Structure 1
Amino acid sequence: MEVSEVTRLAQWFTDNSSEVRSDYQELIKVLDHNARQTQKLPFSEHVAQLSRSLINMPTKELSLLQYRVLESLHVDSFIGKKGSDWVYHLVRDTSFDPSTLLEKIQSTLNYLEDAERLLRDFSSVASEIGFKEPVVEEDEASYIVNVIFKDDASIRNVVEWKDTAKDWDLIIGSVAGLVDEKPEEVKVIGASNGSIVLTLAATYSVVKLLAMISKNVASIANDYLDFRIKLHALEQSKFMTATMKKELIKQEESLRKESKEQVLKEVKEAVPNAAPEALTKFDKGLDNFIDFGEKGGGVDFVSPPELDENHEDYDPDMAQQFEDVRNLIIEYQSEVQRAKLLTDQSDESDSDEQVEE
């Protein structure tokens, strides 16, 4: 995990959870009264206020890596729209039992307070040991992208490191070339171990195009994963013949080819003036990108913030650029979430098989 992702998340959490935690505390006061007293107080307005505060949290600004941190802290379901749904379902299911409702609401607040404390402590320690945010040149309007090398796309030795560097030189170089930029304009501003995360800074044109392509590549990887899950299920059913398997793999390869052609079509529409040689290079880079996604690798975009239109330096063109990138990132994240659901489905299927054995 890139340290800067966590420190930015800590600041985001501090800035955006205080009102939510205050609303939780107000609701808890009423629920505590109702759990102790015969004369009950209404609390629907407190629930509505808490829901509004949760929905107003700018969760679109969070990257997938930051969501993973929130998942590890067990608070991802308690913020934003998911948090609002959680509260309404909880109230609906337990409103007849004030004590149980109070206990669960208090537990949720405890999780949020613990998360805020742990993130704050992490930032303090990072600051004490001299960590500083990656620096991007002032004259560059840069967007942050994390490339995640994990699962079969992990880097385990120097040979894989060398091969991966070649692959990503082609991927980034081919995308940059489509918008007439040089690959060296995409800066490496950070790296971390674990699954290995490489942090890049790129221009609006490159990131917008990369986000669009990433969404399509994630969709192709999901189709591949879905096919493999279904193929595995058929193999386990013992009805699979060699001929059937060969035909299914042939169908999957055909679907993959059609999906790649669709990506190329969308890219040509997005960059109608791209040079023929740039498109030829991108065709090769796209193969590497698809292979990277199917192996489990991924990219993660740090969403640009929403600009305050009342600020004296407000730039409507920049605000629109930010909005365009945010929307593409959201579409990409939806595909990544679909992959998570497919993976969970596969894990459940494997668990069921082990139980039957």
Structure 2
Amino acid sequence: MQILELLELTFWIDRNIKSPAITQKYQQLQAVIQQNVNARNNQAKQPFEVQKNAVIDEIIDISTSSLTNEQERMLSSFGILDHLGQTGVDKLEGILFKNSLDIATAAVKVNEIVQKFNIAIQRSDQIQTNLKPLIPDYESQEEPENNENVVMRVHFQNEVSLENISDFKKLGNTWWEIGRGIAMAHDHSPEDIKVIGAQKGSIIIELAVIAAIATTTSTIILSALKVADRVLTIRKKAEEIKALKLSNQKLENDLEKEAEKEKKEGLENITKEISINLNINQNGDGEKVKVLEKSIRNLIDFVEKGGEVDFFTPDQDEESEEIEKLRVNFSEIKKLEKRVLSLEDKNS
């Protein structure tokens, strides 16, 4: 994770966790539940609907869609990611509902959440205190003149993991073709995409790219996910017909053909759409189109096989129209990835 990326996560925690006093609201809920635990048999139990709703009202609208995958993983390591947004609401209601007759357990579990938020905030504050001096002019930083203001993080994992030097050569060439095609579409060369870092675990290569290249990359991935979503939805209908045991083989076959047609046409249209968006003439820029088409095919194949592409850009760039589009794309990508994974699970 980039230092600036980590620092900005701490600011996000300040805005979304500390300022709304989420920890305190959980504490207030826990206090009422604990009071009921300590109450004697002849004492009336105190309702905690108000405190519960106060927590829910704060956490339900917290979205992590603006965060990078690495930032989300950091929140997960802090232990609080699952207690934000609708997931957090579901968890809290599950605790209170499942333990409605065992309020002592509910009190313990809510207190555990309080402790997780306390520890997360402490760690975030420590990180912010340590990192701020390293970037003293953070708030006044200007956009670099060469516009290399986006980090594109490529995760080699699942079916596209790097196990040996042969994989490295093959996937390195794949990403050269991906970078070349998209760079040429923007009148740049592959050399304009800089390797600036690498991480262990699943192998992660960090690339510095101009915003336009990152935005086009995100647009391709988003378009491919939309195609996958439509294809899987069609296949889900076919599975539902099988489950109903309607013995309509023709309808099942027709739906499968429709799914294959949707995938083929959808992926073909991505190249056309990108070419139109970038004003690439299908006839006059034949070489560009050919290279772009191969780039798109390789990128889609990489993502379909479990590879991941993540984007990070400093908050200072939010005035840029290109950066704003990238952020919107990435937010949509994350939502669609979850939906596609859900559909894949149901179809498997």
Give the TM interval when normalised to the shorter protein.
0.7 to 0.9
1:207 aligns with 2:214: yes
1:34 aligns with 2:36: yes
Q: Is the 8 A contact 1:174 1:285 kept in 2?
A: yes
Q: Is the 8 A contact 2:9 2:71 kept in 1?
A: no
Question: Could you say which residue in structure 2 is the equivalent of 1:17?
Answer: 17
Question: Could you say which residue in structure 2 is the equivalent of 1:289?
Answer: 299
Distance 1:248 1:34 in 2: 56
Distance 1:56 1:172 in 2: 37
1:60 aligns with 2:65: yes
Cα 1:321/1:24, change in 2 over 3 Å: farther
Cα 1:316/1:332, change in 2 over 3 Å: closer
Structure 1 unaligned segments of length 5 or more: list them. Answer: 131-135, 308-314, 350-357
Pairwise CA distance, 1:299: 0.9
Cα 1:165/1:227, change in 2 over 3 Å: farther
Which runs of structure 2 are paired with 1:115-154 in the superposition (5 Å)? 115=120, 138-141=144-147, 142-154=149-161
Distance 1:34 1:99 in 2: 9
Letter in structure 2 aligned against 1:139: E
Pairwise CA distance, 1:113: 4.0
Question: Could you say which residue in structure 2 is the equivalent of 1:279?
Answer: 289
Identity among equivalent pairs (%): 25
Question: Could you say which residue in structure 1 is the equivalent of 2:266?
Answer: 259
Letter in structure 2 aligned against 1:17: I
Distance 1:207 1:41 in 2: 54
Pairwise CA distance, 1:216: 2.1
Cα 1:325/1:153, change in 2 over 3 Å: same
Distance 1:68 1:225 in 2: 27
Structure 2 unaligned segments of length 5 or more: list them. Answer: 135-141
Residue 79 (structure 1) aligned to one of 77, 84, 96: 84
Letter in structure 1 aligned against 2:152: V
| Post-superposition CA distance 1:9-40 (Å, at most 9, x none) | 86357534333222212222222223323244
Distance 1:343 1:73 in 2: 29
Pairwise CA distance, 1:221: 5.5
Which runs of structure 2 are paired with 1:134-283 in the superposition (5 Å)? 138-141=144-147, 142-220=149-227, 254-273=261-280, 276=285, 277-283=287-293
Cα 1:249/1:295, change in 2 over 3 Å: farther
Q: Is the 8 A contact 1:54 1:84 kept in 2?
A: yes
| Post-superposition CA distance 1:228-271 (Å, at most 9, x none) | 9989xx9xx9x9x9xxxx99997765443212122123213322
| Post-superposition CA distance 1:60-116 (Å, at most 9, x none) | 332224334544665332013432444356556656764343233223223434555
Q: Is the 8 A contact 2:212 2:322 kept in 1?
A: no
| Higher deviation after alignment, 278-287 or 27-36 | 27-36
Question: Could you say which residue in structure 2 is the equivalent of 1:334?
Answer: 335
Letter in structure 1 aligned against 2:292: F
TM-score between the two structures when normalised by the length of structure 2: 0.73
Pairwise CA distance, 1:153: 0.7
Letter in structure 2 aligned against 1:28: Q
TM-score between the two structures when normalised by the length of structure 1: 0.71
Q: What SS class does the counterpart of residue 202 from structure 2 fall into?
A: coil
Q: What SS class does the counterpart of residue 159 from structure 1 fall into?
A: helix
